[in-house]
Amino acid sequence: MAELEAGSISMAAGGGGRLRNALSGVLCAFTLLLIGVLAFSIRLFSVIKYESVIHEFDPYFNYRVTQFLSKSGIYEFWNWFDDRTWYPLGRVIGGTVYPGLTLTAGTIWWLLNSLNIPLSVETVCVFTAPIFSANASWATYLLTKEAKGHGAGLMAATILAMVPSYISRSVAGSYDNEAVAIFALIFTFYLYVKTLNTGSLFYATLSALSYFYMVCSWGGYTFIINLIPMHVLLCIVTGRYSSRLYVAYAPLVVLGTLLAALVPVVGFNAVLTSEHFASFLCL
C-alpha cells in the first residue's frame, strides 16, 4: 500500500513538472512573440510620422535593383548593365553587388503576389528591414540560450530589439545590406554554437548555408570567417579540441568557402585574399 502511495505521489510530481514545463514553454513563446512585435513596431515611427519612403542613397539604389529584378527576372538581373549608376562609367550589377538583400526582398514580393497579396515592390523594400530585425532578435535568443539559458536569451533578444545602433540600420525605409545581414550573422553563430553542443553534421551544414547567405548579403561576412578560426585556435591551444569542434568547423570552412566562391562579387577572393587565410590555417 505504501509503495502504491509513493508511486502515485511520484506520478503526480512528474505530471506537475510536465505541466510547469509546458506553461514555461508557452510563456517563453509568447514573450518571444512580443519581442518580435516590439522590434518591428519600434522601427515604424518614421513611416507613421511621415510616409512610407526609401531614404538615403544606397537604399534607393538597392530599391532600383530590386524593382528591375521584379520586372525582368533573375537572368536579366545577373546580366544587367546599369548606365545610371557611377555615371558616366555605368555598372554591371550582377557582378558588383551583394545580391542577398535584393533576392530576399524579391522573393518576399513574389510570394506575396503568388498569394494574391498585391503589395508594391517599394512597400516590400520599406518593411524588409523591420521584419528582419524581429528575426535577428529571435536569432539572438537562440544563440544566447545555447550559451547561457532561456532567461539570458530573452534578455539578449529584448536588448537587441531596442538597441539604438541597430535601430539606425534597420529602421523602415533603410533598405541597405545590414537589413538582412545582421540576422544572417547572428544566425550563423547560433548554428555554429549549436553544432558545438550537439556534434551534429546537420547543424554544421545549416551553419555553412547560413554563412553562404551572409556572404550573399554583406561584405561583413569576413567577420565570421575570422572570429570563428580565432575561437578554434584558442580551443586547440588550451587543450579543448574535440571531435565536435572539428565537425562544427570543417564543414563551415570547406562548404562555406565553396559556396562563397559562387557569389560573383566575391568569386576567387574567397581563397586568394588575406582576410580568408586564418580559416585555412586552422583546418
Q: What is the pLDDT of residue 223?
A: 92
User: Average pLDDT of 171-200?
Assistant: 93
Question: How many residues are given for the chain?
Answer: 283
Amino acid 16: pLDDT: 64
* Calpha distance 244→208 (Å, rounded): 15
10 Å CB burial of residue 139 (0-12, 13-18, 19+) is buried
Calculate what percentage of the chain has a pLDDT beyond 90.
58
- Which pLDDT score is estimated for 6? 47
Q: Which residues contact 2 (CB under 8 A, 6 or more apart)?
A: none
Q: What is the mean pLDDT of residues 40-68?
A: 87
Q: What gap in Å lies between CA 182 and CA 39, rounded to an integer?
A: 14
For residue 21, the surrounding DSSP H or E stretch is: helix 2-41
Q: Tell me what pLDDT residue 105 has.
A: 94
- What is the Cα–Cα distance from 180 to 53, expressed in whole angstroms? 18
Cα separation, 20 vs 23, in Å, equals 5
Please say whether the beta carbons of 102 and 218 come within 8 A.
no
> 128 in helix, strand or coil?
helix
Mean pLDDT of the chain: 88
pLDDT tens for each residue of 143-159: 999 988 888 999 999 99
Residue extents of the structural domains in the chain: 17-176, 178-283
Mean pLDDT to the nearest integer, 104-117: 92
